[in-house]
Amino acid sequence: MRLFVNADECIGCETCLAACPYAAIVMKDDKAVILEVCQVCRSCISSCPVEAILVSGESMQEKQPDFDSYQGVMVFAEQRHGSLAQVAIELIGAGRHLADKLGVCLTAAIFGAGQAEAEELIKWGAEKVYLYDSPELKEFNDEPYTNLLSGLIREHKPEIVLAGATAVGRSFVPRVAARLSAGLTADCTSLDVDLQTRNFLQVRPAFGGNIMATILCPNRRPQIATVRPRVMKKGTYDPGRKGEIVLLKAPNYDSRTRVLESVKEASEAAVNLQEVDVIVSGGRGMGGPEGFKLVEQLAKLLGGGVGASRAAVEEGWTTYSHQVGQTGKTVCPKIYIACGISGAIQHAVGMQSSDVIIAINKNADAPIFNVASHRVVADAREILSALIRKL
Amino acid sequence: MKIIVCIKQVPDTSEVRINPETNTLIREGVPSIINPYDLHAIEAALQIKDQDPASTVTALTMGPPHAEVALRDAIALGVDDAALLTDRAFAGSDTWATAYALAKAAEKIGFDMIFCGKQAIDGDTAQVGPEMAEFLNIPHIAYVKKIEKIETGKITVHRLMDDGYDVLESSLPLLMTVVKELNTPRLPSIKGKMRAKKIEIRKWTRQDIGAEDSLTGLNGSPTRVSNIFAPVIKKERKTITGTPDEMAAQILDELKALHCIQPG
Amino acid sequence: MDHFLTDDQKMIQELARKIAVEKIMPVRAELDEKDEFSWDIVNALAQSDMFSLFVPEEYGGLGKGSLDMCLVIEELSRACIGVSTTFAAAALGTYPLILYGTDEQKKKYLPEIAAGKKLVAFGLTEANAGSDAGGVQTTARLEGSEYVLNGTKQWITNGGEAAINTIIAMTDKTKGARGASAFVVEKGTPGFTFGKKEHKMGIRSSVTRELVFDNCRIPRENLISREGMGFIIAMRTLDQSRVGVGAQGVGVAQAALDEAVKFARQRIQFEKPISAIQAVQHILADMATQVEVTRAFVYAVARHIDTGAKDFTKEAAMAKVFGSDMAMRVTIDAVQVMGGSGYMKEYPAEKMMRDAKILQIYEGTNQIQRNVIGQALIKEAARHK
């Protein structure tokens, strides 16, 4: 299959040239031409204002024979060290919403936890929980997890399966999808269903978040998505909600890989400023080590990293690994919150390409406001304290 | 040890930006590079070869003919040989169909270990490695951050988790996806570059690897991209005023609108 | 400007630039601050075959010429002349073996040097023998099948880190310069130790130490060429490497220019970037012109050497003098354009200025080079008469 431009329709607007992430479209005689390097990502199709880009040799993929027998939403509820992961509760919230819209049942699958965690899932909104409570499943291991989840899906045929886009979910869920020939969309940030086709509309960022894509799985079931933590809204917690817990025992949990040890490590030091979406950064305006703690607290609440100006590092409020700027790191998060940072050029060069820059500074003339998208003239300590209270 | 490294040629996303006025990708001058995580996969394989020079390292990729450049770059780093899956039939592959084709090719090459980067920076899915292991019916370990030891027929590694790390032991053959913490990729060598210029790269079509037509490319892909759009990023300047409490509330609203925190 | 480089030369240049950007730039300020030598960088250079460049193909090298060396040295110098000094000194220490070594000596040492497994140092300078190379006081006395070395070499680049050291010592003091001989001394030989590490104004990521010989016994076969050839070997060796100092000057000056231009575009004064001020533009224009002119000249001298020219002492000296004087001027100007920021360690310009000074001093001071050029001129004039 390939994409081509209907030269009769093409108006030579060059919109598709800019839309193509592979630079596979060029202009020839004022018409767009798609080159051999095209990866058929289809970015251009939706960009074309006159629908001049067409697909040739579109696949004749047929619906799988038992397509219509799939019904319901299943959430894989992750536990770590025996306790329920936050993302599991978020997914129950998202799953509940989808199930209600489709008018189907919401089930959950949980491995290596106990009755208490299963009951929690019900209180958050699940109607039925499949619980494998074997202690051997406490440690995450791809092969048994793949076997169990695949087994549950084969038996209960949910049309939608959700799992957290965590180290666990992103490791074993692809195996499940491969085994079941199911569609899988990674790291979704927004979910919906098309009630007419019952297709699952999965929105995810691509190209490092520079573009968003809606993914469909029109001919296969189930439709599986891993979902980014901290994005979905939790449902309502109802301690009185009743549901069914199905306690299951697998014949064995054999695996060719074995977890020898599971080590918990403080993640704060490991946060890579160049990879996080949010950075809260503090400067001299935080006033002292106590003030700088507010920066760290807010970063933690937002699930982001801690940045610092050179002044804050030199005052010893934090370590050099947090320094942003000429002599520190160059960062480009989605959101950069500069607190009490004057924004001298040495700092600005390290962060000015961030997508959104919220600058909080007492001095209305601080140069940081030249690069800021949001201007907050105030004492950063007061604002941060208020933010932390509200979160 | 027979090692395969799966790599992907990607546009350098650090240079892909959105034009704020038209909300489209600025693509001019975006160079193609080896997916940065894959460089760590190559390095992992080369370090094993450094220890055991009898090892062979083969780079494998699927893509348009131009992806050959990425394979030559891998050769310049010290990889022994390379294979390129290139065929119109592969076009439109999602991760499922990509993993299927790569698995077919890996079977043809033969291996004790397969290394992949943890994810590609253009798709960020992290799915192809584990899916490929499933197709090959071998175990996999994702997010490998340390290789502790390699013994006959088995390997001990550290796997990065969200809250720490796990130590795992696995039998071989095994597929591993690696994170940046694992190593520091080397730079190419002059001799490697000279070799890369001359070497013949194997090019395989769907038939060459014995892939089923119905499982290849768009035919074999369960998922479809239905729509691509630019994320809503407003670059306009806003001034937030009020009492500290009011300002904090407004900032929270902004953060919610940016999906930084949950609404409600 | 297009300098008609071959595809291989462009590839080598690009690779050296990659090493400079990825391996050296991120750590150069720290190495400078801590006065630290980095084996990581040496290993990165080795892994990329940089030490193969100057070794002949039959001994595991790439057998590349002077221009290729200059391209690499220039690129490394854009990041840090401390590193390019380490690299160039390894080549300097190897040239005596390449130019005058026996086949056995070459087979023994060159493959490991080419592979970057062993670093090399060249030991000529002493407390009383700098510009006056004839003043060497270290002695080598033949005793049976061994030479016994006594004396101290001073300010030796790579000293203490180099596994292979080529040393100039007197085998016959009565003959003055004609009584000098060249030897290979391996690190670890009993009686061969190192003095303290010197603390320098610049090029602090390169290591400089004393080499101390106290009844150090080496096998007779470690003599390079024959007795009495030491001075000639030293001079030929320095001729070979001298154009590289010019390339260092081009590299560091280019880097200083780049920093100054970048800064001038960012720095706002009187509501406009200072790059819009003509007084600043003129400084930048002079800097750029000097860099381009010197680069063209250094490449031309390197190419002249690569033609197989027999005598290029004068041209090499000119490249060294002009390149190093230019680098000093341009780095000073870069600091000036950047003003207070240029003077601060937060920006790399002040380091470049400190580093550049050594280029006018080492491998024969610029005054000595002018003597060499002057003498060559007079000799030529006499010949043509």
- Does residue C367 sit in the same domain as residue C272? yes
- Does residue C138 sit in the same domain as residue C77? no
**Residues of chain B contacting residue C53, judged by C-beta atoms under 8 Å apart:** 190
In a domain, A259, yes or no: no
In a domain, A347, yes or no: yes
The A residues from 293 to 332 touching B (CB cutoff 8 Å) are 302, 332
Q: What is the pLDDT of residues C110-155, one digit of tens each?
A: 999 999 999 999 999 998 887 776 789 999 999 999 999 999 999 9
Q: Quote the minimal CA–CA distance from B238 to chain C in Å.
A: 23
Q: What is the pLDDT of residues A143-191, one digit of tens each?
A: 999 999 999 999 999 999 999 999 999 999 999 999 999 999 998 988 9
CATH number of the domain encompassing residue A91: 3.40.50.620
**Residues of chain C contacting residue A344, judged by C-beta atoms under 8 Å apart:** none
**Which residues constitute the domain of residue C178?**
120-228
In a domain, C19, yes or no: yes
- Does residue A72 sit in the same domain as residue A48? no
Average pLDDT over residues A338-344: 91
Q: What is the pLDDT of residues C254-289, one digit of tens each?
A: 999 999 999 999 898 998 999 999 999 999 999 999
- Does residue C87 sit in the same domain as residue C178? no
* Nearest-angstrom CA–CA distance, C236 and C310: 10
In a domain, C306, yes or no: yes
Q: What is the pLDDT of residues C278-317, one digit of tens each?
A: 999 999 999 999 999 999 999 999 999 999 998 999 999 9
Q: Is the pLDDT of residue C240 over 60?
A: yes
- Does residue A99 sit in the same domain as residue A184? yes
- Does residue A157 sit in the same domain as residue A81? yes
Q: Is B172 on the interface with A (CB under 8 A)?
A: no
Tokens 């024969």, residue?
C364
User: Can C363 be counted among the known catalytic residues?
Assistant: yes
The answer to whether the CB atoms of A383 and B65 lie below 8 A apart is: no
- Does residue C359 sit in the same domain as residue C239? yes
Q: Which of C92, C114, C136 is the last residue of a domain?
A: C114
Q: What is the pLDDT of residues B12-22, one digit of tens each?
A: 765 555 554 54
- Does residue C88 sit in the same domain as residue C165? no
CB atoms within 10 A of CB B99: 29
Q: Is the pLDDT of residue C227 over 50?
A: yes
CB atoms within 10 A of CB A189: 17
In DSSP notation, A92-159 reads: HHHHHHHHHHHT--EEEEEES--HHHHHHHHHHT-SEEEEE--GGGSS--HHHHHHHHHHHHHHH--S
Other chains touching A, judged by 3 or more CB pairs under 8 Å: B, C
In a domain, C17, yes or no: yes
* Nearest-angstrom CA–CA distance, A161 and A158: 7
- Does the domain at B2-220 match CATH 3.40.50.620? Answer given as yes
Give me the sign of the Cα torsion angle C72, C73, C75, C81: positive
Of residues B150 and A304, more confidence is placed in: B150
pLDDT for C60 equals 95
Task: Please tell me the total count of domains within chain A.
Answer: 3
The continuous run of DSSP H or E covering A199 comes out as strand A199-206
**Residues of chain B contacting residue C52, judged by C-beta atoms under 8 Å apart:** 190-191
- Does residue C68 sit in the same domain as residue C192? no
Instruction: Give the pair of three-digit tokens for residue C214.
Output: 């106290």
In a domain, C58, yes or no: yes
- Does residue C67 sit in the same domain as residue C40? yes
Q: Is B191 on the interface with C (CB under 8 A)?
A: yes
Residues of chain B with pLDDT > 90: what percent?
A: 68
Residue among A268, A299, A288 at smallest CA distance from A388:
A299
- Does residue C266 sit in the same domain as residue C300? yes
**Residues of chain B contacting residue C12, judged by C-beta atoms under 8 Å apart:** 190
Q: Which of C58, C112, C363, C380 is catalytic?
A: C363
CATH number of the domain encompassing residue C327: 1.20.140.10
Instruction: Tell me how far apart the terminal alpha carbons of chain B are, to the nearest angstrom.
Output: 54
Task: Please tell me the total count of domains within chain C.
Answer: 3
Residues of chain B with pLDDT > 70: what percent?
A: 89
pLDDT for B23 equals 46
In a domain, A83, yes or no: yes
- Does residue C260 sit in the same domain as residue C199? no
Q: Is B235 on the interface with A (CB under 8 A)?
A: yes
Nearest to B130 among A171, A262, A358 (CB): A171
Q: Which of C114, C144, C176 is the last residue of a domain?
A: C114
Instruction: Give the pair of three-digit tokens for residue C200.
Output: 């320098």
Query: Complex ipTM, two decimals?
Result: 0.89
CATH number of the domain encompassing residue C12: 1.10.540.10
In a domain, A336, yes or no: yes
State the Rg of chain C over Cα. Answer: 21
- Does residue C100 sit in the same domain as residue C127? no
**Which residues constitute the domain of residue A9?**
2-56
- Does residue A174 sit in the same domain as residue A100? yes
CATH number of the domain encompassing residue A25: 3.30.70.20
- Does residue A85 sit in the same domain as residue A148? yes
- Does residue A221 sit in the same domain as residue A297? no
Residue among C247, C291, C203 at smallest CA distance from C69:
C247
The answer to whether the CB atoms of B13 and A263 lie below 8 A apart is: no
In a domain, C2, yes or no: no
- Does residue A145 sit in the same domain as residue A278? no
**Residues of chain B contacting residue C19, judged by C-beta atoms under 8 Å apart:** 187
Quick one: pLDDT band at residue A2, thresholds 50, 70, 90?
confident
In a domain, A27, yes or no: yes
- Does residue A35 sit in the same domain as residue A136? no
CATH number of the domain encompassing residue C141: 2.40.110.10
Alpha-carbon separation of residue C146 from B15, C66, C193, C218 (angstroms): 63, 35, 18, 6
Q: Quote the minimal CA–CA distance from A172 to chain B in Å.
A: 7
Give me the sign of the Cα torsion angle C61, C66, C70, C73: positive
pLDDT for A323 equals 87
In a domain, C1, yes or no: no
Question: Taking all residues of chain B, what is their mean pLDDT, rounded to a whole number?
Answer: 89
In A, minimum Cα distance to B142 occurs at A171
In a domain, A29, yes or no: yes
Q: Is B31 on the interface with A (CB under 8 A)?
A: no
Question: Taking all residues of chain A, what is their mean pLDDT, rounded to a whole number?
Answer: 88
Q: Which of C114, C144, C172 is the last residue of a domain?
A: C114
- Region of poorest pLDDT, from A49-63, C172-186, C355-369: A49-63
- Does residue C126 sit in the same domain as residue C163? yes
Q: Quote the minimal CA–CA distance from B113 to chain A in Å.
A: 14
The answer to whether the CB atoms of A373 and B170 lie below 8 A apart is: no
In a domain, A236, yes or no: yes
Other chains touching C, judged by 3 or more CB pairs under 8 Å: A, B
- Does residue C68 sit in the same domain as residue C151? no
